[in-house]
Every structure is written in structure tokens, then in C-alpha cells.
Amino acid sequence: MEVETDRLLLRGWRDGDLEPYARMCADPEVMRFIGSGLTLGREQSAEQVSRFLRHWEERGFGLWALEERAGGTFIGFAGLAHQEDWAEGEHKTEVGWRLDRAFWGRGLATEAARASVAYGLETLRLKRIISIIQPENTASRRVAEKTGLTLRGETRWRNSDVVWYATDRRNRPAELKPEA
């Protein structure tokens, strides 16, 4: 299950992704607003990738590995994840993104997020997709906004203060529909 955008390939995970993924998750700047803000060791990164793969097997969708098409480089992940412990309503599918710092600031997260949301709403026919973000994570909040998600509330989730955004299939901005 692959998706192509102008600059990115959203693809399945490969063995060779683990090393750059672990390097990315060992970067304090990348992990600053994720959970407790701690970096991950190699084993923890490997466990995460195993969880991503299990999610794909169990639900038929998930977080894609992101590859920059020009250089064929692994640059992070984006996609959809079911958050079973999300308590603000019945819709628990979250769009998420995490990029290696060398690739920030070029609109790549937004490009991947838009493709992920389009896939969720149009292909999977989800009614709502959410995004859960720590309030100080300004870059991530901008990505959510540029992807057409709107702020819906604030709450506590997994021991952190978070704000949450959502987009609904019914009220989706026209410019984010695939035919536009």
C-alpha cells in the first residue's frame, strides 16, 4: 500500500529503515515534544517499528515509512494510527508525523500529512481524523493547521497536556480533496 506525492513516497517499512529511524529518535530535538520528551535507544526504536508493523497487520492501515523520491532517502514517518486510549469521543484514528531534522522546514511533513488524511477520509472512508499535539509544539500545530485540521480542545493524554485537532469528512476544505 504505497502513496506518492510530488516529493515523497509513503511506503512500507524495510529492514534498512531501522538504522536511520533509530538515529532520528536519538535526537533530542526530534523527541522534545513526544511523550515525556526522552530520546529512544536503539531497542526502543526497534520496538516501535514492530508496533507499527503489527498495527498494519491488525488494521490494514498505519504509519508509512517516508522516502524522499529524489534521493531515495528514508526521512521519517507519516500516516495513521489508532489510539485505543483516546477518550475524547469515538473517533480514535490519528494522523501523525516525525521527520529527521535535516528535512525540516521544506513543507515535507505537510505534504505527507495531506496525503495521509486524504487516504484516511477518501480511501478508508473514516468520518474523522484527529491529531494530538503537545501545546508547545508549534511546528506540529502548524502542520495540522496547514493540513486543514482545526483545534477542537485540550486535555491530558498519557501524562501530558495536549491540544487536539480534527478534520471531518463532511466539512473537509475543498482544496484538500483529491479532485481539487
Residues in touch with ligand COA (CB under 6 A): 30, 33-34, 97-99, 104-110, 133, 137-140, 142-143
Amino acid sitting at position 64 = W
Minimal distance in Å, beta carbon 99 to ligand COA? 4
In this complex, which beta carbon is closest to ligand COA, that of residue 41 or of residue 105? Answer: 105
In this complex, which beta carbon is closest to ligand COA, that of residue 126 or of residue 162? Answer: 162
Minimal distance in Å, beta carbon 145 to ligand COA? 8
CA distance 87 to 66: 29
In this complex, which beta carbon is closest to ligand COA, that of residue 95 or of residue 121? Answer: 95
CA distance 48 to 52: 6
In this complex, which beta carbon is closest to ligand COA, that of residue 60 or of residue 86? Answer: 86
Minimal distance in Å, beta carbon 77 to ligand COA? 9
Minimal distance in Å, beta carbon 165 to ligand COA? 10
Minimal distance in Å, beta carbon 107 to ligand COA? 4
CA distance 86 to 143: 21
In this complex, which beta carbon is closest to ligand COA, that of residue 59 or of residue 142? Answer: 142
